Each structure stands twice: as structure tokens, then as C-alpha cells.
Structure 1
Amino acid sequence: MHDDQLLPAEPGTRAIARELYRHAKDLPLISPHGHVDPAILADDKPFPDPARLIVVPDHYVTRMLASQGIPPASLGVPSLDGTEVETDGRTIWRRLAANWHLFRGTPSRLWTEGVLSSVFGVDGPLNAGTADDVYDAIAARLADPEFRPRALFERFNLESLATTESPLSDLGAHAKLAADGWGGPGGRVITTFRPDDLVDLDWPGWGERVAQLGAATYAEFLDRLRERRQAFIAAGATSSDHGHPSAATLALSAGEAAALFDRALRGRPDDGDAERFRAHMLVEFARMSVEDGLVMQLHPGAVRNHNAALFARHGRDVGGDIPGPTEYVNALRPLLDAFGTDPRFRIVLYTLDETVFTRELAPLAGGYPAVFLGAPWWFLDSPEGLRRFREAVTETAGFYNTSGFVDDTRAFCSIPVRHDVARRIDAGFLARLVAEHRLPLDEAAETIADLAYHLPKRVFQRTVHTGESA
């Protein structure tokens, strides 16, 4: 990786960006939203072969290859329908290497090459001719105790890593982490409360999961969710996360909500009940956040399982989702009317629809003290997406109504690379403001440190009833 990677090309601005990047590059990493399996760190076993570490679980990678006719089964992605899948890691790796040209210009190439270089010390090109050499070099390092998960966690300078679990999780991995001094409140590895599978009536098996929660009525449903939130807080949670199809919110009366819930449990919901229940539950979760201090995150706009054939064969979260247009101003009004100015409430908004950054999200963050803007997410967490985000929202929302970078990844080894990309992009953006005499250099240096470290640490901190931070 070049020292000036992603920094501005103009020499004068690049020199400023280098200085600003120096203020951020070695700061600890705060990872307040992600999907790393906590068992990886709880068990601290050696990682599997290079393919199962870097290719198989990364839907950014398998999605691109699938778009060129390389089926996920041939890349080792587990199937649900009995389709035979490739099990030989070297074969999977060779397929990636032979098609590495497909990733030119993509963030997946940037992240993967960063992982190969900065984590595993492999600096040569990846192609069909080098595939085996690169595979063997990574495999040799994976056998070294210094490349076990907890050792890498330390090397990555990770101060805090949040994972994401369903309320139905027993949080066993987090209990093990806490017993080892790694988890619990203030721990290095914490959980996040993600209740989508219990509030989305369209998600197959909803009724069975509600029964597993132990709720037969709407009132019991709310009580059990509050209890589970307390269990998550005991496991270190500072936030909840909600991945709804839309940003719609709705304040139903208790009677209306109970009637809707009962219809759904009987298997006879009305048209529109699923969207109305999701929207209502966002308001209820905001109410719970006021009570228990969890920061609320909203990730709307993904059209889940758009590729029906991929979903049928391999299930969820394997690259079959597509962004959709998302409206926020009217959708969030019921929730913000109730809690938008409450000092006990904080919500971080994300989007997959960057057309709303300037028109809707930045003004909302600039108009409500409870609202913060989350970093570009998923299809937008690229160098250009990060640049466009700063350009779109800063004039209206400033820097301090944003929440800092989130890596949102399952790929543990890519975390430091992704944060480094964000820090370089912010260095370039701030350098332009300095070069244009819009911001003094000392203030820009303070700002990049805030964006990289201090803001996410503050925004994602749970607030207790006294007004003090937990």
C-alpha cells in the first residue's frame, strides 16, 4: 500500500493531508457497529484456511464473482437446498485469484489487498500465477499464535468492538469473553441488540420466535423485550440496531398494537400489518431507549433477498440484497415528535440512498439534538462514497452531528484497513478546507482526531437516567 494512497493528487493539498492523516492514523479503533462472530474471539482458535477467512464469508467478494457467472457454491458458500459446495480452500482461492481483475477499482480490492499487505505481509500481486504462493504465505501465518484472533485484536489497536445479536441469543460467547476479562460493560468486545427477527412479521418463522421469547400477548412481548435489553446491557451493549425495509415510524395506541399483534399470531394479519408493526415498534424501541439509555441505530432501505434464486439456494446475507429509495422526513416524524428533543434519546441514521444526504438527513441532524448521521454503509462504504458523504452533509450538519466511522463488517481482518481508508478520506477532505482557507490547520487536526476516535466513542456511549454516561 502506497503511503499516499487515497490522499489528494494535488501536491500542496496532499502535503496538508499527510499532516492531518498523521494525527489520526495511530489512534485506537472504535468499532461500534459490526457483525463479527463473537465466538471467534471467545474461543480464540486459529483461523481456518485463507479461503474460509477471506472469501467464503465475504458477500462483497462472492457477489462480484456471482455477477460474472461464478456460482457461490463453487466458492464454498453453504447451501440450504442440498446443492454441493466446494470444500477445498485452495481451489476456492485459485478461483478468486484467476478472477481478481473483476475487482479493479472496487473497495473490495482495496480492502483485500490491504489485508494481505498490512495483516499478512503479502505485498505481491494476486493473480492465477501467484495464487498458490499467496495462499501458502497466508496459511503459514495463520498457524502462528500471533495470528490468532485475540492477538490480532491487540495488534489492530482495537479499543472496542461491537458485535450484533438477536434478542433470542443466549449471549454465551459474550459470557465467556466477560469471564476472560474481555467483555461486559466497558469491555473490549460488546454486543448490540438487533430485534429485527422479532418485529418483522414478513420474516418466516416469526410466530415461533415470539414463542421462544416467551410472549403470548403484546404486553408480554414488550416486557420480554425490555428484559432482553437488560441482559444485553449486562453483556456490555451500548446500542440497539434496526434494519427495517423503510424508515417508517408510527405511534399506535396500545389497543391497536395489541390487536395487530394478535392477528399476526393467529396467522391472519391484514394487508399492511407488517409495515405498520415495524413502524410502531421503532417508536416503542425509542421509548425503551429513553428508559435504558441504549443508543438507537436505524439502517433502512435494503430490499432484502432481491435475488430469489440466490436466497432459495443459500439463504440470507450472501449478496442478494439491493438498495432501494428511502424517505426520512415524513417517515421519522412520529418518532421525532415524541423523542427528537429528549436529552435521554440518541438515534444514529444510516442510508443506502445517498440522494437524501443533502435533502433530508443533514437537515434532520441539524434540526434535532437527538439525531446523528451514521457513516456511509454497505454499498456506499467506499472511498468515493465516503467523500460524497462529507461533501453532501458537512455544510448543513457540520462534523459534530455525525457519529464517526463504522466498519459494518463480518470480515474481522479487514477492520483496520476499513478504518484506515476512512481516515485517509477525511484527511483529504479536511486538507481541501485548509487549502481553500476555510479551516485553520490546527482545527482540522483536532477535527480528524474527533472523527476517527472521539466522536464514535461519545455518540455510542450509553446514557443512564441521571444524564450521566454509563
Structure 2
Amino acid sequence: MSEQPPGWTLDPDRALPAEPGVRALAREIYAATSRLPIVSMHGHVEVDLLVQDSAFENPAELFVIPDHYLVRMLVSQGESPADLGIPTHDGTPFETDPREIWRRFCRNWKLFRGTPTRYWLEHELAVVFGAPVPPSEEAADELYDFLLDTLSREEFRPRALLDAFNVELLATTDSAASTLTGHRKLAETDGRQRVLPTFRPDDLLHIRRPGWAADIRELSEVSGIEAGDFDSFLAALRGRRAAFLQAGARATDHGHLSADTTPLDPADAREIYAAGLRGEASPAQADAFAGGMLFEMARMSAEDGLVMQLHPGVLRNHHRGIRTRYGTDQGFDIPVRVEFTRALQPLLNSFGMDPAFRMVVFTTDETVYSRELAPLAGAYPGLRLGAPWWFLDSPEQMRRFRESAVETAGFYNTSGFVDDTRALASIPARHDLARRIDAGFLARLVAEGKLGLDEAVETGADLAYHLPLQSYAPRS
């Protein structure tokens, strides 16, 4: 990473507490954690980006077009996704000039004041890429040309950036039917297994989703098991999980609307699966199947040791017109309220006390941490709380997470910080922010006489590095 240039210096105490005495303690704790290796076990960087290891084409392709946080803010202020370079699916024109896309972003820089996007982008631009000035309408072309030249250098290619960021482990997210070819190529090229796949079977567990039958055919082809009935479907999933384990996977990932884990009677599961293949499954049957399959995924995790990650509570693709014109995942995924205590009871009653079972739960509904999730994690050995995720990975909500969860669950029933990004360059920024917020929270405990400084330093290191390694350690 580049040193900050003299023309643009970020505040070294950014995101640390304002009170001078607590800030001094936080500086000491942060200094002990800031250079620890990064363990990024809940990420969405595409493995092919690292396999190809090509130079990033331009600043718009790196910073603007793929960042749904950034795009959604500009769209909320009247910008068109097409004008920001988002390709259309209906043949309507969209902006293809990356410099013009970059200028549009720079003109709107003030919209990100007070947001985590502002923090991450400042860290990426100033610390990672050494940009001479912050974005603005006046500096747009100067900044674009500087970044274009910087991105052409070998040390700013994707795999070199992993080294510069001190990434020890990086998990990707991969469909159950993935051949995992990219992971094998990367392990052979690097001579080590630093980038790990994560088993994400969502497309196969929602039987009314468009394209579900085609995905079942793909699963059958890749697994070598014809998934023509429910029992064969389960066998095919077990086979794919085994292939992921062989490729180094340590976890599964499940993004459902509900946290329901009610098991299905086998006869009912077979009937619903058959109805799905015929295209006749009802909404109620589809919901029951999704919940029953989460229970089956927990059973399989207890069997094979893959850590089960669950992050329910997002109504995806809220605006139908945006989905039709631009496709999925364009910033219109909106959080909804989630109930966990009753929803997870079947799963936790069956597996929560099993030493072989491990589960990490994330949520976008911060109201449930103190009411439901912290008490559950504080009781069940198989359950840990994931770090603030997605809409909650902002400074104030990170602080509130610690305040609401630690008193009941403690620090050590959490996963540590594992991030949630598809933007490679934002990984160090996200981890840096989490380490600063945790340093501030721990410093306050020291100032209040609740922890010794040595304990706070040790806990900070655990949250930043040791707990993620432990939470996702392969079964011995």
C-alpha cells in the first residue's frame, strides 16, 4: 500500500473516541491490532478476478460500477443506474465512458458524508492507492488520470494487493454447482491455499425461484447424481459439500428471508420437491421447504464440519423495474424484521449442544442482538454472533453491536470481524474501521475500570484475528 501523499492526509485518529483520555487508550489498543493479518471469511470477491490477475481497467470499473452501496446512494438522489455505467438487460442505452462515470461520482462526493462508504473510499483512495486529492468536481480528471496510471502498475494487480493488504485467508462465495476450477488453478499458481470457497446453495433451496429446475439439472450434472427426487437431491448436496471441503472450504452461507428452521417430515419433503419439479409448488410449500432445508443443512454441517453461516432478513430486489432493467443486486435489497428465538429453536434443540456443530448468525436487524441473538449465543455452544453485516457495518452500529451483545454473550461468543464485501480494494478499509471501533469500545471499558489495558489489548487482537481463525477453523 502507498504512503499518504502530502496533499491529502487522513486523520490518524479517525473513528476513535473523541474524549482525550479514552482516545489515548484507544490509540494504544489500535496500535496493537492495526497490523495483524486479515482473515476475511465472509466475502464475495470473485475467484476469477484473482486467477486472471489482470490490471484493473480504470477507476470507474474498480470503485463505482460494482459498488451497490455507492450506486444506491447516487440513485437515491436522482441519478440513473444507466448513467453510472450499470449495464441494462432490456437493450436501453447506458453510459460506457468510464471517465464520464467517474466525473459523475466525483460531482456527488458530498452525498457520502457521514456514511461508511465515505470512510472506505477515503481509505482506499488515500491509503491504498496514494491519491493526491479527495474526489470533487474540480479534481475529477486529475484524480482519474492519477488512478489510471497507478492501476497499470504490477503492485496494484489483484494478487499483489492481497499481499499488500496482509490477507492471510480470503473466502469467496460459490454456488453449490460450481466446478471450483478457479480455486484449483489459484492454489496451484500460488502454491498455497489462501483463497477458500464457501458453499452457497440458496438457488437450490427456494423451489419457486425462476430457473430453479435448470439449477437442479446443473446440480445433477456437476455432482454426477441425478436429483430426480428428494433423496437424490440430498445425496447430490452432500456430494458437492464433500467437493468443497476437498477444495479447502470451511463454511456454508445461507441468505433466506426468514430464519425458520422447522424440519419437514420426509414424506412431505418428497412431495414438495416433486411438486417443485413439476412447477406446481405453492408459496406455502416453498416457504416450508426453505425452512426444512436449513434444518437439513445444519444436520449436514454437524456431519461434515462446515461452519453454517445464516443471514436472513433481506427482501431482495425491492423495485421490480430496476430488477427487470438492470438485473439482481442493484442496491434495492431492503432489510426486514426477523424473529430468531422460535425460528432457530428446532435447529438449536437438535444441534446447538453438539460439539461437532458450529453456526454463525448475521443480521441486518440490529434490534434483535440484545433481545434474542446475544442470549441465544450466550447459551448454546454451537452458536456465535457474526460481526455487523451489510447495512450495519457502519461505525455507530458497530459500537451499538458491542454495547448490546457483549454484556450478555461476551466477546468470545462472537466470530470476530470477517467483513462482507465483493470489492477487493475495500477489504483493508473495512477491517481497519472495525479495529478502530473495537479499540474505542475496549478503551472505554478500561477507562471505566472494567478491564485492564493488557486485557483490552489481548481482546482487541482476538476480535481482529484470533477469533475469526478459531470460528472458522477446519475440523481436526
Q: Aligning the two structures, in what range does the TM-score lie when normalised by the shorter sequence?
A: over 0.9
| Cα separation, 2, equivalents of 1:103 and 1:160 | 30
Name the residue aligned to 1:363: 375
Does 2:350 correspond to 1:341?
no
Q: Which aligned segments of 4 or more residues in structure 1 are displaced greater than 6 angstroms?
A: none
3-state SS of 2:174 partner? coil
1:135-190: CA deviation from partner (whole Å, max 9, x where unpaired):
1111101111111111111000000000001011121211211221355xxx1101
Query: Is the contact between residue 182 and residue 188 of structure 1 (CA under 8 Å) also seen in structure 2?
Result: no
- With 262-271 and 316-325 compared, the bigger mean Cα shift is at 262-271
Q: 1:318 aligns with which of 316, 327, 330?
A: 330
How many residues matched? 461
1:263 maps to what in 2?
275
Aligned match of 1:57: 66
Q: 1:12, 1:58 → 2: CA distance? A: 37
What residue identity is the alignment partner of 2:201? Answer: P
1:121 corresponds to 2:127: no
TM-score of the aligned structures, taking structure 1 as reference length? 0.97
Q: Deviations over 1:366-414 (max 9, x none)?
A: 0100000001111110011100100000000000000011221011001
Matched, 1:327 2:339: yes
Contact 1:239–1:462 (Cα < 8 Å) also in 2? no
Match of 1:9 among 4, 18, 36: 18
Q: Report how far residue 364 of structure 1 moved.
A: 0.4
Structure 1 residue 123, shift from structure 2 partner: 4.2
Cα drift, residue 454 of structure 1: 0.1
Match of 1:35, SS state, is coil
* 1:445-464 CA-partner distances (Å, limit 9, x unpaired): 1000000000000101122x
CA drift at 1:265: 0.9
For 1:359, give the aligned amino acid.
R
- Matched with 2:466 is 454
Q: What residue is the counterpart of 2:412 in the other structure?
A: 400
Structure 1 match to 2:209: 203
What corresponds to 2:255 in structure 1?
Answer: 243
Distance 2:12 2:34 in 1: 11
DSSP-derived class of the 1:367 partner: coil
In structure 1, distance between residues paired with 2:129 and 2:373: 39
Q: Does 1:441 align with 2:441?
A: no
| Shift in CA distance, 69/35, structure 1 to aligned 2, threshold 3 Å | same
SS of residue in 2 equivalent to 1:159: strand
Q: In the aligned structure 1, how far is the partner of 2:74 from the partner of 2:181?
A: 35
**Partner in structure 2 of residue 79 of structure 1:** 88
Cα deviation per residue 1:242-272 (whole Å; 9 max; x = unaligned)?
A: 0000101111121111111011111111341
Matched, 1:432 2:444: yes
The one of 404, 416, 423 aligned to 2:435: 423
Q: Which moved more, 1:252-261 or 1:384-393?
A: 252-261
Aligned to 2:200: 194
1:188 maps to a residue whose letter is: R
Q: TM-score with structure 2 length normalisation?
A: 0.96
Counterpart Cα distance in 1 of 2:282 and 2:167: 47
Q: For residues 161-240 of structure 1, what are the structure 2 equivalents within 5 Å?
A: 161-181=170-190, 187-214=193-220, 215-240=227-252
Distance 2:471 2:324 in 1: 39
Greater CA drift, 264-273 or 326-335: 264-273
Q: How many angstroms does 1:202 deviate by?
A: 3.1
Shift of residue 228, structure 1, vs aligned partner:
0.6
In 2: Cα distance, 1:151 partner to 1:211 partner: 38
The gaps in structure 1 that reach 5 residues or longer are none
Deviation at 1:315, TM superposition (A): 1.1
Residue 3 (structure 2) aligns with: none
CA-to-aligned-CA distance 1:271-295 (integer Å, 9 cap, x gap): 4111111100011011111111000
Letter in 1 for 2:268: E
Task: Give the secondary-structure state (helix, strand or coil) at the position aligned to 1:90.
Answer: helix
Q: Secondary structure at the match of 2:44?
A: coil
Q: Percent identity at matched positions?
A: 56
Distance of 2:398 and 2:381 partners within structure 1:
23
User: What SS does the aligned partner of 2:435 have?
Assistant: helix
**Distance in 2 of aligned mates of 1:103 and 1:314:** 23
Give per-residue Cα distances to partners, 1:5-30, cap 9 Å, x unaligned: 11111100000000000110000000
Matched, 1:278 2:287: no
